[in-house]
Amino acid sequence: MLDSVRVRLTFWYTGLLALFLLALSLITYFIFWRSTLQRTDSDLSELSEAFLTTVQAEIQDNHGPEAVKLATQEAIVEHRFRDHVFAVLDAKGEVLTSSQDLPNETAPPGLLASASFRKLMEDSAGTDHLFRNVLGGKNGYRGLARKFPLKGQTYTLVILQSLHPQAEMLEEVRQTFAWVIPIAIILASVGGYFLARKSLAPVVAMSSQAGRIGAENLHERLPIQNAKDELGRLAASFNELLERVDQSFERQRRFMSDASHELRTPAAILRGESEVALSRTERSAEEYRESLAVLHAEAQRLTQIVEDLFTLTRADAGQYPLSPKDFYLDELVADCAHATRSLALAKRISLTCEVPEELPIRADEALLRRMILNLLDNAIKYTPEGGRVSVSCQRAGDEYTLNVTDSGPGIPGDLQQRVFERFFRVDKARTRSEKDGGGAGLGLSIARWIAEAHQGRLVVSRSDSSGSTFSAFLPAQVSVAAAPAPVFR
């Protein structure tokens, strides 16, 4: 049950409210009790003042040894209220007169002899005025002991006021709290539960909707009721996440289907060619050689595709290990131009290489070699016989610019970005039919990833009917320690 946010919220809310109400009632009760006591004390003070004025007046009319006793008795009779006990004690602490001697006295008879009363008298010895609680009766008394001089002697007036009415009032307050607080807590917890349920209802709806979304209906989105509130923003973020997952899922699906399509063709050629070779028993050595050459070319093509796919998959997972080392980029470029010379010669293409200065670099040499060879290979592959291909590399500020230019047919403007997509070929029919191993459309994806893994870029910087230029920009101080995973295309 406590697993539910609604219940937990309600518990917290109710608990905090109960604590708050309890603290509030305690404080209120304490303030009420203190003000009652203060009022009682001030009543007692006023009463004692009035009593002593009366005593002063009465003493004028009384003479002789009993004068003080008679005067105080008169004053007691005059000021006596119900619930009050008056007593006048002489300097020795002996009771001279008290209201207890009068008829209809409601206070308990032994009150003035009780230990609590004696304690009040003891404590008041050194002071003029002392308020103290005295035990006795049902709820005890509030007592005032006050010294006063009369006829050369010091007497103590003690007035005890029953605390019964105050106790009843405080009891009423306690009883009110005792039923008001539980009812307030019950009402608040029920209200809190419904409030939490209502506020969390959209989350419950969202989670059940999210639970229904799977690979088949990834395009579905959560409904957004109020885009500005927290839940609306949560739903919007969730929808954005779904959008990204959907797109990446779609790319994965396309990648898988393109990959299997690319692999199917060479596999079919291998099977067909080998079936043809095996179908006839009597075949000349020349015919076998031809068949084997076809099988070899297709096997090579298949291997290349599988290797390229493997490279890209590892790159996607950020698991391609880069091995940086110091070398000269100009030497690598010249080396690649030399390696592709025979390909160019076969198509009577003039291949020029221009590297005017030394270009030291720290990078993964094998990967950069692969990138440059890809670019040169494409340039030669897509340039008609007798054309021109050139490769150059120079420093520009704090980066190196490598340009591979050809006099091929160029790439239409709207497709210049797309050639870096996986399996994308401008003219699928043309490249596939080529005997020189038309690629699967992965070469430029890999080349761009290599440039990016070295914190560089690879772009089509010019392409029109007179030819194309692919430019790679590489920082001169490359740190390849943390090669980024390529953006999934």
Q: State which residue, 112 or 380, has the beta carbon closest to ligand ADP.
A: 380
Show Cβ contacts of residue 375 under 8 Å, excluding neighbours closer than 6 positions.
391, 404, 447, 470, 472
The closest alpha carbon to 423, from 402, 444, 450, belongs to 444
79 binds ligand ADP (CB under 6 A): no
395's tokens: 């420093």
259 binds ligand ADP (CB under 6 A): no
Closest residue to ligand ADP: CB criterion? 439
Contact 206, 235 (CB under 8 A): yes
258 binds ligand ADP (CB under 6 A): no
Choice from 143, 443, 456, 486 touching ligand ADP (CB under 6 A)? 443
Q: Where are the alpha helices (DSSP H) in 4-87?
A: 5-61, 67-79
Angstrom distance (rounded) from CA 96 to CA 91: 10
User: Within 13 Å of residue 23, how many CA atoms lie on the same side as its CB?
Assistant: 6
Choice from 163, 391, 419, 453 touching ligand ADP (CB under 6 A)? 419
Contact 68, 150 (CB under 8 A): yes
Choice from 431, 454, 473, 483 touching ligand ADP (CB under 6 A)? 431
143 binds ligand ADP (CB under 6 A): no
Q: State which residue, 73 or 407, has the beta carbon closest to ligand ADP.
A: 407
Say whether 382 sits in a helix, a strand or coil: helix
Q: State which residue, 97 or 431, has the beta carbon closest to ligand ADP.
A: 431
Q: State which residue, 439 or 456, has the beta carbon closest to ligand ADP.
A: 439
From residue 216, alpha-carbon distances to 219, 220, 246 in Å are 8, 10, 10
From residue 248, alpha-carbon distances to 191, 245, 330 in Å are 45, 5, 39
Q: Taking the complex as a whole, how short is the minimal distance between the CB of residue 279 and ligand ADP, in angstroms? A: 32
Q: Which residues pair with 469 in a beta bridge?
A: 405, 462
Site for ligand ADP in 146-205 (CB under 6 A): none
The number of residues that bind ligand ADP (CB under 6 A) is 22
Interacting span for ligand ADP (CB under 6 A) from 21-29, 127-135, 209-217, 426-434 = 426-434
Strands 324-328 and 360-364: antiparallel
Q: State which residue, 258 or 273, has the beta carbon closest to ligand ADP.
A: 258
Tell me how far the alpha carbon of residue 362 is from its chain's centroid: 41
Strands 467-475 and 399-406: antiparallel
Q: State which residue, 26 or 267, has the beta carbon closest to ligand ADP.
A: 267
Q: State which residue, 143 or 266, has the beta carbon closest to ligand ADP.
A: 266
Site for ligand ADP in 313-352 (CB under 6 A): none
449 binds ligand ADP (CB under 6 A): no
* Strand ranges inside 243-332, DSSP E: 324-328
Q: Taking the complex as a whole, how short is the minimal distance between the CB of residue 338 and ligand ADP, in angstroms? A: 19
Render 347-363 in DSSP notation, one character per residue: TT-EEEEE--S--EEEE
Q: What is the Cα gyration radius of the chain?
A: 53
255 binds ligand ADP (CB under 6 A): no
Choice from 99, 392, 455, 468 touching ligand ADP (CB under 6 A)? 468
For ligand ADP, what does the binding mask look like between residues 376 and 405, x meaning CB under 6 A?
A: --xx--x-----------------------
Choice from 441, 451, 453, 456 touching ligand ADP (CB under 6 A)? 441
Contact 157, 148 (CB under 8 A): yes
Interacting span for ligand ADP (CB under 6 A) from 160-168, 212-220, 345-353, 435-443 = 435-443
458 binds ligand ADP (CB under 6 A): no
Q: Which residues pair with 161 in a beta bridge?
A: 84, 142
Interacting span for ligand ADP (CB under 6 A) from 29-37, 169-177, 340-348, 423-431 = 423-431
Contact 453, 484 (CB under 8 A): yes
Interacting span for ligand ADP (CB under 6 A) from 97-105, 199-207, 336-344, 436-444 = 436-444
The owner of tokens 């040169």 is 376
Give contact residues for ligand ADP (rule: CB under 6 A). Answer: 374, 378-379, 382, 406, 408, 411, 419, 424-427, 431, 438-445, 468
